[in-house]
Amino acid sequence: MKFLEFLNSYRQNKDLITLWMNNLLMLYAFLLPISQTIKSTVFSIIVILFLIRGNVLKFIKESLANPIVRSFVYLFIVYIIGLLWTEDIASGISAVKNVKYGLYLILFYSIVDGRYIDKVIGAFILGMLVSELTSYGMIFGIMPWKLELGNILFYTAYEIGDPSPFLHHIHYGVALALTVMLLGQKIYFSKNNLMMKIFMSIFILTATTNIFVTGGRTGYITFVMLMLVLSIVYLKKWAVAALIAVVLVFTIAYNFSSVFHSKVLQTEASVSKLLSGDKNFNTSLGIRVGIYYYSFDVIKENLLFGVGTGDSMNEILKNAPKEWVANTDSASHEHNQYLSVLVKLGVVGLLVFLNIYYQIFRYKQNEKDLRFIMIFSTLAIAFGILTTQFNLRFFMPLWVVMLAVTLINRERRTIFNLKLDHKEQLFQIVGVGIVFSLASLLKHLI
């Protein structure tokens, strides 16, 4: 009875519930680059608290009043509708699951208190610091390339010599490139003391280096593209100096990073084979080009509405030579989110997807630093999905978290009658994080 009374009193304190949802969102952001399993558990708890708090329809309605939130909902709906003319329902449902993370924005946007904006962003950066320290630990032989205890896998590198600990190296490289931008923004906009700015400057250098000692070429491209945007749009009079710095980074990486050096040589070899006229699509780069090449007729014949949410790769592979299909294990998806949407859902679906970018770029955010984070998070995702898709539970969750805390302003309040104690909150978040981690360990041990 006492427990029920406690639960009922807790349920009636909506500010306390909202406080805990914000705390858990911080933990979720921290876990984004570290643990997909525990992150999912944290989200489930947020959903439960959201339901317990009540007025669910009211909060959903408030979220849907935001055009960016609606744009993600429209994409999800189009994917659902695309199931109507697909034959491969299982693949279609899998594709729907990959874009469902966009719906998380409905929840996150409704709960974020403006005082948590910097905390959530800082939590993600801290998670990336943990990833980076683990990566350097592997490089210097302090940490193993694969850490497991019995049947519990804590992390594993993409491969020996490619120190991407918790994420696929494509995602890790893009996350590092975004982290460099976030740290640069904090140095420029924040009022942190000199020592903190020096620490963040060192972090920028180590994160930049980490991009080029891992094997994700998408990370290299994303870093360059973000630096180009930063130089041309934001730095302006410092643009030339910034671009020279990028060239120096690539020169140093080419001469001192064996991973980056080998990736450049592999790319050159792949391009040479592709230009030789024999349509050699059996290299890493060639597989992607082959998918683009064989998807052309599929797109042409299903231009408006596509082949359906689940039939894209089946239809593309029908156009490809059997010997290429037999020798290509990596042709399980389109390796490009834009191409994927176009083949699945046609021009109509692609326009619905691109509408997300349109709504973001036209959105009015008066706080310049938050506008910066919103744009660069979106650009990082936009460049990242040129060579992969929303299929590994990272890009879409990262995107919606960054949007949730940059669509609002620091004056927004969802917690009204509680005084925030930063030390107490930190203690609570660390405590909950430990509890979830131990629970995850026990789950695997039992």
Q: How many CB atoms lie within 10 A of CB 174?
A: 31
- pLDDT of residue 6 exceeding 50, the answer is no
pLDDT at 114: 93
Q: Where are the domains of the chain?
A: 2-409+417-445
Highest mean pLDDT among 55-69, 149-163, 228-242: 55-69
The answer for residues whose C-beta is within 8 angstroms of residue 394's C-beta and 6 or more apart is: 32, 33, 36, 167, 168, 171, 175
Query: DSSP secondary structure string, 356-379?
Result: HHHHHHH----SHHHHHHHHHHHH
The DSSP call for residue 379 is: H
pTM: 0.91
Average pLDDT of the residues in 98-109: 94
* Residue 418 CB contacts under 8 Å (≥ 6 apart), including other chains: 15, 16, 19
pLDDT of residue 393: 80
Rounded average pLDDT over 38-54: 91
Which amino acid is residue 87, in one-letter code? Answer: E
Sign of CA dihedral 116, 118, 119, 121: positive
What is the structure's pLDDT at 4? 47
- Over residues 66-70, mean pLDDT: 97
- Cβ-in-10-Å burial (0-12, 13-18, 19+) of 284 comes to middle
Q: Are 129 and 175 in contact (CB under 8 A)?
A: no
Residue 100: the pLDDT is 93
Q: Is the pLDDT of residue 7 over 70?
A: no
**What's the average model confidence in pLDDT over 305-323?**
85
pLDDT tens string 360-412: 999 999 999 999 999 999 999 999 999 888 877 899 999 999 999 999 999 99
pLDDT, tens digit (0-9, with 9 covering 90-100), for 154-175: 888 888 888 988 888 889 999 9
Query: pLDDT band at 193, cuts 50/70/90?
Result: confident
**pLDDT at residue 250 tops 70:** yes
Query: CB neighbours of 46 closer than 8 A, spacing ≥ 6?
Result: 21, 24, 25, 28, 107, 111
Whether 82 has a pLDDT exceeding 70, the answer reads: yes
CB 307 within 8 A of CB 343: yes
Question: Degrees (nearest 5) of the Cα angle 165, 167, 172?
Answer: 95
Residue 66 pLDDT exceeds 60: yes
Flag the least confident range among 43-57, 58-72, 279-293, 297-311: 279-293
Q: What is the pLDDT of residue 291?
A: 84
- For residues 375 and 335, which has the higher predicted lDDT (pLDDT)? 375
Tell me the sheet residues that pair with 155: 147
Radius of gyration of the chain (CA): 23
Is residue 343 pLDDT above 90, yes or no?
A: yes
Residues 203 and 174: their CA atoms lie apart, in Å, by 16
How far apart CA 97 and CA 180 sit, in angstroms, is 30
Strand ranges for 123-195 from DSSP E:
146-149, 152-156
The DSSP 8-state label assigned to residue 113 in this structure reads: -
Residues 285, 290, 291: CA angle, nearest 5 degrees: 105
197-201, 294-298, 421-425: range with lowest mean pLDDT: 421-425
pLDDT at 274 exceeding the cut of 80: no
Query: Residues 409, 112: contact at Cβ < 8 Å?
Result: no
Please report which confidence band the pLDDT of residue 2 belongs to, taking 50, 70 and 90 as the band edges.
very low
**Each residue of 417-446: pLDDT tens digit?**
888 777 777 787 888 778 777 776 666 555
Classify residue 58 as exposed, middle or buried by CB count within 10 Å of its CB (0-12, 13-18, 19+): exposed
- Percent share of the chain, pLDDT over 70: 91
